[in-house]
Amino acid sequence: MKPLLEFKNLSFGYPGRPLFEGFNFSLKEGSRIGLIGPNGAGKSTLLRLMLGLERPKAGKIYFRGQELKKERDFYPVRREIGLLFQDPEDQLFCPTVEEDLAFGPLNLGLSRQEVAKRVAEVLQFLGLRGFEKRLTYRLSGGEKRLVALGSILTMQPKYILLDEPTGDLDWKNFQKLVSLLQNKMTSFLVVSHDFEFLELVCEEIFWLEKGRLEPLSKGQRRGIYFAIK
């Protein structure tokens, strides 16, 4: 199958801090990928590069075989790949939950019935029924996280990128997220420092360090797992 998104020979760095040099990577639909690595290795940057929020210094990015160059080229990418931010506080900006969930689909120019249907479905899916009129800034940390996830799901993306999604979840919401990812979602990439969490939800886990992405073999994974335990 053709990859959804592909990096070829990509280079990127911040001033005084090179991150990637001749970096190759590809993202396929239906894959459950985990990404782990030391602080500042460029995990979040990698997600930003995928959506065109940062532009590479050199190298090429392909989306469904099409090369992406201009800002405009990234519009369809953003429609099909959703990103859950590290801090949900940054992602919610509408007064009520339902308006936040409706913001994306309304921007896509969908009809009001269609938007209403999607909002209701997503609330049901996340187990947040009855939250429609709640004010986003009064939600608890875990609820904010789930609503932020919902605001992406209403766009019905093909692939979801999650940046440190477990940070502010209590045990119950953690379980909820794990079961959603295990049972109801098929295509996602999770960045996390929580190795156990990655073990629970991902098929493949990659280690990112010094601009290199190494898949962790079953043996290595077991080694790390027991090292933590």
Q: Which is nearer to another protein, 39 or 183 (CB)?
A: 39
| All residues at 6 or more sequence positions from 72 whose CB lies less than 8 Å from its CB, including other chains | none
Name which of residues 42 to 81 contact another protein (CB under 8 A). 51, 53, 75, 78-79
The residue (of 155 and 162) whose beta carbon lies closer to another protein is: 155
- For 150-190, the DSSP string reads HHHHTT--SEEEEESTTTT--HHHHHHHHHIIIII---EEE
Minimum CB distance to another protein, residue 78 (Å) = 5
Task: Select the residue interacting with another protein from 42, 82, 142, 211 (CB under 8 A).
Answer: 82
To another protein, the closest distance from the beta carbon of 163 in angstroms equals 11
Record the tokens describing residue 52, joined without a space: 């065109």
Closest CA to 205 of 60, 61, 36, 79: 36
Query: C-alpha angle with apex 81: 15 to 177, nearest 5 degrees?
Result: 100
> Residue from 8, 55, 64, 94 that binds another protein (CB under 8 A)?
94
Residues near another protein (CB under 8 A): 51, 53, 75, 78-79, 82-83, 85, 87, 90-91, 93-95, 98-99, 102-104, 106-108, 112, 115, 137, 151-152, 155
